Amino acid sequence: MTSARSKTHKRYARPRYESASAAFLGHLGIAQRPRSKAKGKSKGKARYRVQPLPLLQIALVAGAVALLAFVIWVAASDTFYIHTAVISGTSRVSPEDIFRASQLPGVHILWARGGKAEEAIEATVRGVRSADVHCWLPAKCNIEVVERQPKTMWQDGATLWWIDEEGVILPGQELLPDSLVVQGPLPRVADDRLHERVIDTLTELYALGIDPSTALSYDGGRGFVVTDSHGWRVVLGIGSGVAERLRAMTQVTADLEARQVTPRFVDVRFPDAPYYSVANEW
């Protein structure tokens, strides 16, 4: 019996190398992990601790929420929608017409484009030669315009038109002093401008220093007709070469005056071959 127990005890005795390793680890100050007596039970009872978020992650989340709230506020707040504008440079054109033509009313400031507003004004308001638009937060805009200046007064029957130096036709309000006045049908083209050759004629007349008091009319078939100091009608026509035609007019009228001839009209549209008539109306 004694020998059997002794053998059993030796079978389950802790191996010497385990005891030696424990002693060695203890000598180094390293504690061994205690063995679990019931491994199956310890797995079932394992607990997990929730780790708190780092401060950096909390700050990032808070920043994202704040940014989203700001974006929603900017998009929805009426503060950032354009309802008025400061308009300068107008004397004849209505500021309300300019603001409406800019297509800015009711637009969110983030969608406002100064270049597009300038193009819209210049294309829509004929009395404006150029526009300069600037917008900034929260919803402020400045619109500075340069108006077209009338240079020629064109009297078409009972209707008065203003013509600027580029030939743009504007509704006339009154006869302006020291401006050339033309009587007759208005030779307009589709884009509310004078015929190109008519513009060329007026440009050359101004360059030659025409007297604004000169009696000038326009005939649809013959072009410009000037009434000279004798009361004679002289057909100038249209297009470039006005200086040559005026020189021809001076020569012909001087010759007629010297010969005491009173013509019904003088035609210098072809300065190399001018002619006149004492019998025919035209």
Per-residue pLDDT tens digits for 55-105: 888 888 888 888 887 777 767 788 999 999 999 999 999 999 999 999 999
Residue 168 DSSP symbol: B
Integer-rounded Cα Rg, in Å, for the chain is 49
In this structure, of 4-13, 129-138, 198-207, the range with the lowest mean pLDDT score is: 4-13
Identify the CATH homologous superfamily for domain 78-147: membrane protein fhac (3.10.20.310)
For 150-277, CATH number? Answer: 3.40.50
Residue type, 108: H
The yes-or-no verdict on residue 152 having pLDDT over 50 is yes
- Residue 12: C-alpha distances to residues 7, 15, 19 (Å): 9, 9, 14
pLDDT digits (tens, 9 = 90+) for 157-170: 999 999 999 999 99
Residue ranges of the chain assigned to CATH 3.10.20.310: 78-147
Dist. CA 90–CA 176, nearest whole Å = 18
Pairing state of beta strands 215-219 and 223-227? Answer: antiparallel
Cβ atoms within 10 A of the Cβ of 123, count? Answer: 10
Instruction: Report the C-alpha gap between 150 and 138 in whole angstroms.
Output: 38
Q: What is the mean pLDDT of the chain?
A: 86
**Do the bridges between strand 233-237 and strand 265-267 make them parallel or antiparallel, or are there none, so unpaired?**
parallel
pLDDT above 70: residue 107: yes
CA distance 84 to 80: 12
The whole-number pLDDT of residue 133 equals 98
Positive/negative CA dihedral, 84, 86, 88, 91: positive
**Which pTM value belongs to this model?**
0.71
**Distance set, CA 72 to CA 65, 76, 78, 82 (Å):** 11, 6, 12, 18
Q: Record the tokens describing residue 172, joined without a space.
A: 């006339």
Is the confidence at residue 120, as pLDDT, over 60? yes
* Cβ–Cβ under 8 Å, residues 108 and 78: no
Omega before 138 cis (within 30°)?
A: yes
**Cβ distance 250 to 218 under 8 Å?**
no
The predicted pLDDT at position 39 comes to 52
Give the pair of three-digit tokens for residue 29: 């100050």
Spatial contact of 87 and 60, defined as CB atoms under 8 Å apart: no
pLDDT, tens digit, 9 for 90 and up, residues 8-41: 444 545 555 455 455 544 544 444 555 555 555 5
Where do you find CATH 3.40.50 in the chain? Answer: 150-277
Sequence-ordered list of residues with C-beta below 8 angstroms from that of 147, at least 6 positions apart, any chain: 89, 90, 91, 92, 93, 127, 128, 129
Interatomic CA distance for residues 10 and 155, integer angstroms: 135
What is the per-residue pLDDT across 209-250, written as a single tens digit (0 to 9) for each? Answer: 999 999 999 999 999 999 999 999 999 999 999 999 999 999
